[in-house]
């Protein structure tokens, strides 16, 4: 599993709610090589977000192994898993999840400060990246003072500022208009390539998926090669 930045083996996930037993993922196999860009498509409710949560260590599998940067994270306790995740992965969600009371710059600084980087260095690194996503003149703006596309670009900068091994993105342009979505997407792909970060992107947009190295479809709890 060491040649992959991210991998899972024999992955199962079910949810039990009262009488209802929902099998979401069944014996799923998946791996991502360094710098690889993989799209995951699938109908609504097929388990795409569940898969991304498991791969990112935000939820625990019912069965199976999950490997991030050479370590089996599902055997770590929650605190250690959190540290490993912060060190090696970045996340971009459909809704930006930026902290509302902080500026764009402060939001992007946050993951670096959590890692113990001196504030001045963190600020420089964060503002460089915000300039790269075209937000050099929005550093002091709070999320409520940014447009939808600007918020997602801030969220992308926040995910990439730590130069993670892999970014997990769950329909990051899902609530943007088509033109804005395309621009945000181009910026994300270019930046991933530049930093050398792998990308796992959940999208319902087949045109976007085609621009990635490969596309997989989540059906009946497994990933099918397209």
Ligand X SMILES: Nc1ncnc2c1ncn2[C@@H]1O[C@H](COP(=O)(O)OP(=O)(O)O)[C@@H](O)[C@H]1O
49 counts as binding Mg ion under rule CB under 5 A: yes
Alpha helix positions (H), 93-144: 104-114, 119-132
Instruction: Compute the CA torsion angle 31, 77, 126, 49 (nearest 10 deg).
Output: 50
In the bound state with Mg ion, the residue whose beta carbon lies nearer, of 93 and 102, is 93
In the bound state with ligand X, the residue whose beta carbon lies nearer, of 45 and 118, is 45
CA atoms lying within 13 Å on the CB side of residue 86: 13
Rounded least distance, CB 12 to Mg ion, Å = 19
Distances (CA, A) of 1 to 58, 142, 151, 196: 20, 41, 35, 19
In the bound state with Mg ion, the residue whose beta carbon lies nearer, of 49 and 198, is 49
Rounded least distance, CB 196 to Mg ion, Å = 27
Laid out side by side, the sheet with 20-32 consists of 20-32, 6-17, 63-68, 71-72
In the bound state with Mg ion, the residue whose beta carbon lies nearer, of 48 and 85, is 48
Rounded least distance, CB 225 to ligand X, Å = 18
Rounded least distance, CB 196 to ligand X, Å = 28
Contact residues for Mg ion, defined by CB under 5 A = 48-49
């Amino acid at each position: 599993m060491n040649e992959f930045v991210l991998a899972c083996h024999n992955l199962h996930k079910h949810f039990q709610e009262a009488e209802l037993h929902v099998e979401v993922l069944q014996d799923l196999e998946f791996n991502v090589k360094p710098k690889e860009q993989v799209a995951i498509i699938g109908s609504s409710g097929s388990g795409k977000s569940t898969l991304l949560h498991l791969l990112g260590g935000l939820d625990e599998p019912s069965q199976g192994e999950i490997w991030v940067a050479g370590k089996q994270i599902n055997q770590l306790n929650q605190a250690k898993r959190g540290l490993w995740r912060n060190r090696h992965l970045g996340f971009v969600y459909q809704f930006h999840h930026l902290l509302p009371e902080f500026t764009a710059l402060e939001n992007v600084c946050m993951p670096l400060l959590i890692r113990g980087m001196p504030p001045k260095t963190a600020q420089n690194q964060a503002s460089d990246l915000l300039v790269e996503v075209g937000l050099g003149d929005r550093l002091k703006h709070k999320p409520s003072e940014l447009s939808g596309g600007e918020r997602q670009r801030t969220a992308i900068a926040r995910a990439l500022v730590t130069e993670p091994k892999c970014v997990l993105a769950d329909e990051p342009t899902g609530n943007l208009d088509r033109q804005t979505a395309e621009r945000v997407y181009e910026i994300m792909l270019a930046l991933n390539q530049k930093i050398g970060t792998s990308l796992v992107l959940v999208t319902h947009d087949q045109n976007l998926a085609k621009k990635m190295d490969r596309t997989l479809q989540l059906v009946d709890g497994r990933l099918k090669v397209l």
